[in-house]
Amino acid sequence: MKLDIDFVRKQFDQLADDPGFAFASNAGGSYVCNQANEVLEHYNRHTRVQPYSRYSPSAEAGKAMDRAHAGWAEALNIRPSELTIGPSTSINTYVMAQAIGEIWKPGDEIIVTNQDHETNSGVWRRKAIEKGVTIRQWEVEPDTGLLNIESLFPLLRDNTRWVFFTHCSNIVGTVNPVATIVKTIKSGSNARVFIDAVAYAPHHISDLKALGVDCYAFSLYKVYGPHQGMLYVNRDAHGDMTSQAHYFNSGNPAKDFAPAGPQHAQIAACAGVLDYFDELHQHHFGASDKNRNAKLEQLHQLIVQHENELAAPLLEFLHHRADVRLLGKTHTGDNDRAPTIAFQPLKQSAKSVAHKLQDAKIGTEHGNFYAHRLISDLGIDPDDGVVRLSLVHYNNQQEVEQILQALDTALNQTGDDAAA
């Protein structure tokens, strides 16, 4: 069975706005599915009051928010009390740095990577410096930007408190084998694990209990939904953390890590993304009594196959050009490469190539994408950075064709920075 791409595309009105435009900047934020927009609009039109009171629109508003909370907990195979929905992943990690770092003391150690987006790096480093904690860096391979599990072993100590790494880099696109890495960490230390899954969740909603992680964060505005940050905090780890809620709310897991007032309508609209996945599942597999996480796993099989077919010709093209340095893996054969494809043009600036692609109606960008440390360690100027083409399951082969032609033209026009 294959993903019915025409059915998928009908669920995103924005895809029909300009048929000549190929959107390839999804890692910066995806289109919103119609189902999420419908929930958002309904909330704003009919239940826009303070939720959770007994009077009619308020009770309905509370139910709409609870539906999102419970639905996402089921999707991630976690308890509703383990899910915080905050304004963004950057705010969530900022809050968690206070919650986690409060008990750190000199002699403790943490491990961070240089593969991560700054969101899963700077806040922990800053807190570690404040607390006199030793920071160890799990280095990427300088040519490819990939993390090698063997280089993690020597960094693990008895006093390693936390390891922070990404499920998938927003630049090199390789999916790190989180479950295996977590097993290694837990067998060699007492460290807890925090995963940034912002670049991975658009491609796969994971079973978090199976991954064995302590915290897991991603952003729903990149997963076809409203601008919210999803944060899992394993209940067993709560005891090691300090509440960031108002003192009278402390101990309430829904509030401990969400000091900002919740964005009611946006939270309700998170359920719309699940409505979309439900419809997608029903369309391909018919009625099913499987739970949400199992249904998402089935959908993932179709999505990964489709995404691999999108990425393969682009990787093949870029890999064989002498005027391009392709970052990350050059193939999709191992099913561990998201269609997030970044490259450094060698004969002209990334800015010049990105602008030429934009002129050819490709939605793409250049820069460091806040993976400043990674881009610098790869020996690339972080101001110019790389060109990034990031696709998701609603992209189609015609768009890939358009991108390939535009790439060929842009790369062959060397010495012409006029477009920049």
Specify the 3-state DSSP secondary structure of 196: strand
DSSP letter, residue 274: H
Smallest distance from ligand PLP to CB 108, Å:
24
Q: 367 - beta bridge partners?
A: 386
User: Binding to ligand PLP by residue 196, rule CB under 6 A?
Assistant: yes
Residue with Cβ nearer ligand PLP (51 or 328) = 328
Q: Between β-strands 340-345 and 215-219, what pairing exists: parallel, antiparallel or unpaired?
A: unpaired
Specify the 3-state DSSP secondary structure of 388: strand
User: Binding to ligand PLP by residue 176, rule CB under 6 A?
Assistant: no
Residues in the chain: 420
Ranges within 115-134 binding ligand PLP (CB under 6 A): 117, 119
Question: Which listed range, 85-93, 183-191, 319-327, 374-382, lies at the site for ligand PLP (CB under 6 A)?
Answer: 85-93
Question: How far apart, in whole angstroms, are the C-alpha atoms of residue 341 and residue 372?
Answer: 17
Q: According to CB under 6 A, which one of 11, 160, 219, 243 is a site residue for ligand PLP?
A: 219
Question: Which listed range, 84-92, 95-103, 234-242, 331-339, lies at the site for ligand PLP (CB under 6 A)?
Answer: 84-92
Residue with Cβ nearer ligand PLP (229 or 345) = 229
User: Binding to ligand PLP by residue 89, rule CB under 6 A?
Assistant: yes
User: Binding to ligand PLP by residue 114, rule CB under 6 A?
Assistant: no
Residue in the shown chain whose Cβ atom is closest to ligand PLP:
90
- Number of residues lying near ligand PLP (CB under 6 A): 12
Question: How far apart, in whole angstroms, are the C-alpha atoms of residue 112 and residue 131?
Answer: 16
Specify the 3-state DSSP secondary structure of 36: helix
Residue with Cβ nearer ligand PLP (356 or 393) = 393
Smallest distance from ligand PLP to CB 27, Å:
6
Question: Which listed range, 156-164, 194-202, 298-306, 345-353, lies at the site for ligand PLP (CB under 6 A)?
Answer: 194-202
Q: Where on the phi/psi map is residue 212: left (φ > 0), alpha (ψ -120 to 50), or beta?
A: left
Q: Measured between alpha carbons, how far is residue 385 from residues 294, 341, 364, 401 in Å?
A: 39, 13, 13, 24
User: Binding to ligand PLP by residue 377, rule CB under 6 A?
Assistant: no
Residue with Cβ nearer ligand PLP (226 or 345) = 226
Q: 83 - beta bridge partners?
A: 232
DSSP line for 259-276 = -SPP-HHHHHHHHHHHHH
Question: Which listed range, 7-15, 82-90, 254-262, 317-325, lies at the site for ligand PLP (CB under 6 A)?
Answer: 82-90
Question: How far apart, in whole angstroms, are the C-alpha atoms of residue 406 and residue 395?
Answer: 16
Token digits for 239?
A: 């005891």
Interaction site with ligand PLP (CB under 6 A): 27, 88-90, 117, 119, 170, 196, 198-199, 219, 229
